[in-house]
Amino acid sequence: MSKYVFVGAVALTVVILDQFTKWLIVRDMTLHESIPVIDSLFHITYVRNRGGAFSILADQPDFLRLPFFLTVSVVAFSALVYFLRTVGEHQKLLLFALAGILGGAIGNFIDRVSVGTVVDFLDFHWRGYYFPAFNVADSFITTGTVVVLVYSLFVSEENRGF
């Protein structure tokens, strides 16, 4: 299987998983409804994020915010595809990480284009500290980015075969 087919299959799986979970949340919950999964630690909470990561630019008007995030998405897609060209077929972990980032970016891009906001619902908190709610796409973007950074910084050339 070529690296492009592998990355495409993983990215498509991430997009489907992301969009399906968001669809379930929108279908079954009301906005701001919260369901405790592990009390005082993890809830499923339906929110809509108008901004980027950590609600950056959420208070900006649509005519500024949406073109900005759509442009950033297109630039990110282009950079990922360019970087993908330099990764060897045998570097499966790195290919998986890039596919996760790509799939997550596409999942959130779909939300922004279709409704102008991103559905978030994974809500972690502990002892009065709250982490901003996020979604499946965000999870893959974050995890993939960490893998790419660790791989780039700490894996030597001769050990990049995994």
Domain count, the chain: 1
Taking the CA atoms of 151, 156, 160 and 162 in sequence, report the sign of the dihedral they define: negative
Sign of CA dihedral 21, 27, 29, 35: negative
The reply to whether 38 falls in a domain is yes
The catalytic position among 18, 111, 120, 123 is: 120
* In a domain? residue 74: yes
Is the residue at 162 inside a domain? no
Whole-number pLDDT of residue 51: 65
In this prediction the pTM is 0.85
Q: Is residue 144 part of a domain?
A: yes
Given 18, 111, 123, 138, the catalytic residue? 138
18 is catalytic: no
User: Could you confirm whether 138 is annotated as catalytic?
Assistant: yes
112 vs 124: CA distance, rounded Å: 23
> Is the residue at 118 inside a domain?
yes
User: What's the domain range around 86?
Assistant: 3-156
Residue 161: inside a domain: no
Q: What does the pLDDT look like over 31-82, one tens digit per residue?
A: 999 999 998 899 999 999 876 665 666 666 667 777 787 888 888 888 888 8
Residue 50 in any domain: the answer is yes
Would residue 84 count as lying in a domain? yes
